[in-house]
Amino acid sequence: MTTLLEYTQIELLTLTGPEFRRVSTAPPRPPTEDEIPIIDLASIDKDLEARKTLASKVRAAAESTGFFYIKNHGISEELIQNALSQAKAFFAQPIEKKQLASRKIRTNADGWHGLGTTQINRTETRDRKETFSLRYNRKNDPTVSDGDTLSSEDDFAWDTTSHLPGFQETTVEFYQRRLTLARKMIRVFALALDMPEDYFDAVTTNPGADGLYVHYPATAPDALEKNNADVDVGIGSHTDIQFCLPVMSGLTLDR
């Protein structure tokens, strides 16, 4: 028996304006390894030939699905779980506590964005998510040592979360490890594009590198079954403009 797939069209917000994609309406399922490959980064610090071999695998994945899992990336499972615990502790607070760290209080500061405060795609409902964001700050960059250049711009985020034991320390360390990994990956991307390995170094010295904790509250099953247009999306349909975006597994990919 042949199963006919059904599709719908979605509008994506992109850097250059709206784009439209046809995506399957089939229920989510675990991917196969050939759909989203697992790439071993054990050779990322080895000799140039080993890194070029790694780059060829990354290029193949980028040109097919655009997504891939990574392992042996250098970030310990203990740190990942500690960061998840800190994120859960922050988002589990009463809203009055989270509002202390609101970015509405300190414009352009690091901190909390509440539910429905963003709408990434104007053709859809407001985003049903809350975030705690940490922007790039030279003070948190493990490659920077010049104390005169360090900024205290993130003090607001830490002053308003100081009651959460270990929150700042874990969040900063997790950010630093991901920043280091992203810089290494961008060098791999350069090799994958047949460019010198250091081709993009200049744009990763003081990068627009954000670290986010994101919480998507559950939507009631009956609301999903009714396909209620008033139910907010987790986040609006969009394409990311970042060069390198390491995310935790668990997202749904539309194809």
Q: pLDDT in tens for each of the 255 residues of the chain? A: 556 678 888 887 777 888 888 888 888 888 887 788 999 999 999 999 999 999 999 999 999 888 899 999 999 999 999 999 999 999 999 999 999 999 877 766 789 999 888 888 888 888 889 999 999 988 899 998 875 566 667 788 999 999 999 999 999 999 999 999 999 999 999 999 999 999 999 888 888 899 999 999 887 777 666 555 555 678 877 777 778 888 888 777 776
CA-nearest of 140, 139, 131 to 178 is 140
- Beta strands, E only, 82-181: 111-113, 130-134
**Interatomic CA distance for residues 171 and 201, integer angstroms:** 25
Q: In this predicted structure, what is the pLDDT of residue 56?
A: 98
Q: Are 150 and 173 in contact (CB under 8 A)?
A: no
CA-nearest of 163, 156, 150 to 133 is 156
- DSSP one-letter string for 42-95: TTTTS-HHHHHHHHHHHHHHHHHTS--EEES-S--HHHHHHHHHHHHHHHTS-H
The label of the residue with tokens 């790439």 reads 39
**Interatomic CA distance for residues 124 and 121, integer angstroms:** 6
Q: Are 207 and 136 in contact (CB under 8 A)?
A: yes
- How many Cα atoms are found within 13 Å in the side-chain-facing hemisphere of 3? 6
Q: In this predicted structure, what is the pLDDT of residue 239?
A: 75
Q: In this predicted structure, what is the pLDDT of residue 149?
A: 60
For residue 17, give the 3-state DSSP assignment.
Answer: strand
CA distances from 61 to 24, 28, 37, 100, 217 (A): 21, 21, 7, 42, 31
**Interatomic CA distance for residues 250 and 255, integer angstroms:** 16
DSSP 238: B
Domains of the chain (ranges; CATH) run: 31-73 (no CATH), 77-225 (2.60.120.330)
75 Ramachandran zone, left/alpha/beta (phi>0; psi -120 to 50):
beta
Residues 6+ away with beta carbon under 8 Å from 71:
38, 39, 40, 41
**Interatomic CA distance for residues 138 and 143, integer angstroms:** 9
Q: In this predicted structure, what is the pLDDT of residue 224?
A: 60
